[in-house]
Chain A
Amino acid sequence: MSTANSFIEIVGVRKSFGDNEVLKGIDLSIAKGEVIALIGKSGSGKSTLLRCINGLETHNAGTIHVDGKEVRANDAAAIRDLRQSVGMIFQNFNLFPHLTAAKNIMLAPMRVKKTAPQVLEAQAKKLLERVGLGEKFDAYPDQLSGGQQQRIAIARALAMAPQVLLCDEITSALDPELVGEVLRVVESLAKDGMTLLMVTHEMAFAKRVANRVIFMHAGRIHEHGTPAEIFGSPRTPELQQFLSGLGD
Chain B
Amino acid sequence: MVDFSVWDVVRNLLLAARWTVALSLIAFVGGGLVGLILLCVRIAKLPGAERLVGAYVQIFQGTPLLMQLFLAYFGLALFGWNISAWTAASVALTLYASAFLTEIWRGCVAAIPRGQWEAAQSLGLPFRDQLRDIIFPQALKIAVPPTVGFLVQVIKGTALASVIGFVELTKAGTMITNATFRPFIVFSCVALMYFALCFPISAWARALERKLNVHR
Which residues of B sit under 8 angstroms from A55, Cβ to Cβ? 121
Asked if A131 CB lies within 8 Å of chain B CBs, one says no
Contact residue among A96, A98, A160 (Cβ-Cβ distance under 8 Å from B124): A160
Q: Given A97-B138, A98-B137, A107–B123 Cβ distance below 8 Å? A: yes
A-B contact pairs, 22 of them (CB 8 A): A56-B121, A80-B125, A81-B124, A83-B121, A87-B122, A90-B115, A90-B118, A90-B119, A92-B115, A94-B113, A95-B119, A96-B120, A97-B138, A98-B137, A107-B123, A107-B125, A108-B125, A111-B125, A111-B133, A112-B124, A157-B122, A157-B123
Closest to B129 in A: A111
List the 3 shortest-distance A-B pairs measured between CB atoms, nearest first.
A94-B119, A108-B123, A83-B124
Asked if B51 CB lies within 8 Å of chain A CBs, one says no
Chain B residues near A (Cβ < 8 Å): 113, 115-116, 118-127, 129, 133-134, 137-138, 141, 216
Interface string of A86-122 (1 = CB under 8 A from B): 1110101011111000000001100110000000000
In the bound assembly, the distance between CA atoms of A206 and B113 in angstroms comes to 30
Chain A residues near B (Cβ < 8 Å): 54-56, 76, 80-81, 83-84, 86-88, 90, 92, 94-98, 107-108, 111-112, 142, 153, 156-157, 160
Contact residue among B115, B124, B129 (Cβ-Cβ distance under 8 Å from A94): B115
- B133 near A80 (CB under 8 angstroms)? no
- B133 near A107 (CB under 8 angstroms)? yes
- B127 near A112 (CB under 8 angstroms)? no
Which residues of B sit under 8 angstroms from A156, Cβ to Cβ? 123
Known contacts A56-B121, A81-B124, A94-B113, then 20 further A-B pairs from the complex at CB < 8 Å, ordered by chain A residue:
A55-B121, A76-B127, A80-B126, A83-B121, A86-B122, A92-B115, A94-B118, A95-B119, A96-B119, A96-B120, A96-B133, A96-B134, A107-B123, A107-B125, A111-B126, A111-B129, A111-B133, A112-B123, A112-B125, A153-B119
A128 to nearest B CB, angstroms?
17
Which residues of B sit under 8 angstroms from A157, Cβ to Cβ? 122-123
Which residues of B sit under 8 angstroms from A98, Cβ to Cβ? 137-138, 141
Which residues of B sit under 8 angstroms from A90, Cβ to Cβ? 115, 118-119
In the bound assembly, the distance between CA atoms of A86 and B123 in angstroms comes to 8
Which residues of B sit under 8 angstroms from A107, Cβ to Cβ? 123, 125, 133
Closest to B137 in A: A98
In the bound assembly, the distance between CA atoms of A84 and B120 in angstroms comes to 12
- A97 near B123 (CB under 8 angstroms)? no
Which residues of B sit under 8 angstroms from A81, Cβ to Cβ? 124
Closest to B128 in A: A111
Closest to A111 in B: B129
Closest to A81 in B: B124
In the bound assembly, the distance between CA atoms of A86 and B118 in angstroms comes to 13
In the bound assembly, the distance between CA atoms of A145 and B134 in angstroms comes to 21
Which residues of B sit under 8 angstroms from A56, Cβ to Cβ? 118, 121-122
Which residues of A sit under 8 angstroms from B123, Cβ to Cβ? 83, 107-108, 112, 156-157, 160
Which residues of A sit under 8 angstroms from B129, Cβ to Cβ? 111
- A83 near B133 (CB under 8 angstroms)? no
- B127 near A54 (CB under 8 angstroms)? no
- A54 near B116 (CB under 8 angstroms)? no
Closest to B127 in A: A76
Closest to B119 in A: A94
In the bound assembly, the distance between CA atoms of A94 and B119 in angstroms comes to 6
Which residues of B sit under 8 angstroms from A95, Cβ to Cβ? 119
- B116 near A96 (CB under 8 angstroms)? yes
In the bound assembly, the distance between CA atoms of A88 and B117 in angstroms comes to 13
Closest to B118 in A: A56
Closest to A55 in B: B121
Most B CB within 10 A of own CB, among A86, A95, A107: A107
In the bound assembly, the distance between CA atoms of A98 and B116 in angstroms comes to 11
Which residues of A sit under 8 angstroms from B137, Cβ to Cβ? 98
B84 to nearest A CB, angstroms?
44
